[in-house]
Amino acid sequence: MINHIYALVTYSLEKNLIKKEDIDYAVNQLSYKTQIEPNVYIQQNIENQSFVELIEPILVHAIDIGLIDDSIQSKDNFESYLMDTFTMRPSCLQDTFASLDSKEATKFFYKLCQDNHYIKTERINKNKQYTYNSSYGDIFITINLSKPEKDPKTIAKLKHKKTSQYPACLLCKENIGYYGNISHPGRSNHRAISISLNNEPFFFQYSPYVYYNEHTIVFHKEHIPMKLSKKTFLRLFDFVDRFPHYFLGSNAGLPIIGGSILNHEHYQGGSADFPIQHAEVIKSYQLDNVKLELLKWPLSVIRLTSKDRETIIDISNKLRVFYENYSDESVDLIAKTNEQHNAITPIVRKESGTYIVDIALRNNRINEAYPDGIFHPHPDIHAIKKENIGLIEVMGLAILPGRLLSDLEEIQNVLDNQLKLAQKLSTYKDWVNTIIHNPEYSTKENIEQAVARTFVKGLEDCGVFKQTDNGIKHFKLFIEAFLNE
């Protein structure tokens, strides 16, 4: 068995996770953690072996001797604990990160997160990705298979588990090095870098699920709720000034239109090309030295561009405040009833010294016809997507549930052989009826296109000013009211 530990040590040396001075330490630590008798290290030939192939025999051994049980959650937690042995201490990582220029620093940190298997690349590679050419340009679709479904055994155990308040949520800094349990993912090998934004304490980490290249999460040191204010812009701008090769955006701080975690202030960023960046412009305006553009996009998005940091922050924030109080009942847009409904999703990036701010206008009001949200994917979309449309999707990258992949195959089979839809697929009944009446439908390619088309329709549902003649007229009325204020 000890050879498997040696192999993991060889792997970590090759990946530069550890240095040769760390070999005995690593062998001893791993031996004790796995209850395998230690011995003097012998370098192994690990050519053509993936990380998973290297670690799997150790996990099987741990199950065999009763150290862990045979569930994905237990194995993941234990693996993270083993890989922590090869992962720099947070303070040491912080110093290394600080010693590099910003691009080198993120490159180094991202590689470390992959090499220590905090980011499980082989699971992410299982995701299905494709592009759909819509009337707004290309839209990217990802069917997400990388988040493991909970094992039935785990679900059974969860029934009897007491809920814990520590760590307070999945983002809190207390996750760093946390072993995890059946309901909380193992984060022994997780690391985050402390950074200052607007002179406030934040942390920088990568998402373990990597929905796009270098998917970054920036979270506040304290477990405080999401709140958009002028400070949001100051923080986002500080971030892109320090990491100009990354964008950073914030979800709206309200339910229905916000992200999945509202109780911890956080932002999402990264280094990827998103469809929204290539959106056409409907109309341009100028205010001081800031250009404002209305985009041809399913959601209502205004793009602000300028080299002048102070002015563009000032105008972005004024636009936020103006919109938060703006109603246009002729298009069902009501800023507040007894609670606030209007909010924005801002995304900031920097290109050759020029700041670009995309501001998506959102509203979370519900009514009798749309109890899930007037500006939320409508019921005809729910078979494909009923979760909140967050900032990643605002930018034109769909993250769709993993169940779709097998369900679509079955639906394809039903359609090809004119069978009856099985009971478990009944949620797709109406959706299938609409696609079979679409003349374009014929092959598997088209069922994926139908999914993408449905997603784009869901984005359009979120637009407060629709991309119709009337909607665009009211969109212009809004921006002109702001400019004339």
Interacting residue ranges for Zn ion, rule: CB under 5 A: 168-169, 171-172, 223, 264
Q: How far is the CB of 223 from Zn ion (least distance, A)?
A: 4
Of 184 and 264, nearer to Zn ion (C-beta) is 264
Residue 311 — left, alpha, or beta (φ > 0 → left; ψ -120 to 50 → alpha)? alpha
Min separation Cβ 168 and Zn ion, Å: 5
Calpha distance 226→97 (Å, rounded): 27
Is 225 or 379 the residue whose CB approaches Zn ion more closely?
225
- Closest CB to Zn ion among residues 11, 204: 204
Starting at the edge strand found earlier in the chain, the sheet holding 128-134 runs 128-134, 137-144, 397-401
Q: How far is the CB of 222 from Zn ion (least distance, A)?
A: 8
How many CB atoms lie under 10 A from the CB of residue 7? 21
User: Is the CB of 139 or the CB of 171 nearer to Zn ion?
Assistant: 171
Structure-token match 């194995």, residue found: 75
Q: Could you give the 3-state DSSP secondary structure of residue 168? A: coil
Query: Helix 429-436 vs helix 403-416: angle between axes, to the nearest 10 degrees?
Result: 50
Choice between 217 and 240, CB closer to Zn ion: 217
Minimum CB separation of residue 269 from Zn ion in Å reads 18
- Taking the least distance from each CB to Zn ion, the nearer of 88 and 168 is 168
Output the six-digit token pair for 138: 């290309």
DSSP states along 211-279: SSTT-EEEEESS------SHHHHHHHHHHHHH-TTSEEE--BSSTTTB-S--SS-EEEEES---GGGGP
What's the min distance (Å) between Cβ of 341 and Zn ion?
A: 26
How many angstroms separate the CA atoms of 145 and 130, rounded? 14
Burial of 340 (0-12, 13-18, 19+ CB in 10 A): middle
Q: Which is nearer to Zn ion, 172 or 435 (CB)?
A: 172
Least distance from C-beta 105 to Zn ion, angstroms? 24
Residue type, 213: N
Least Cβ distance, residue 203 to Zn ion (angstroms): 11
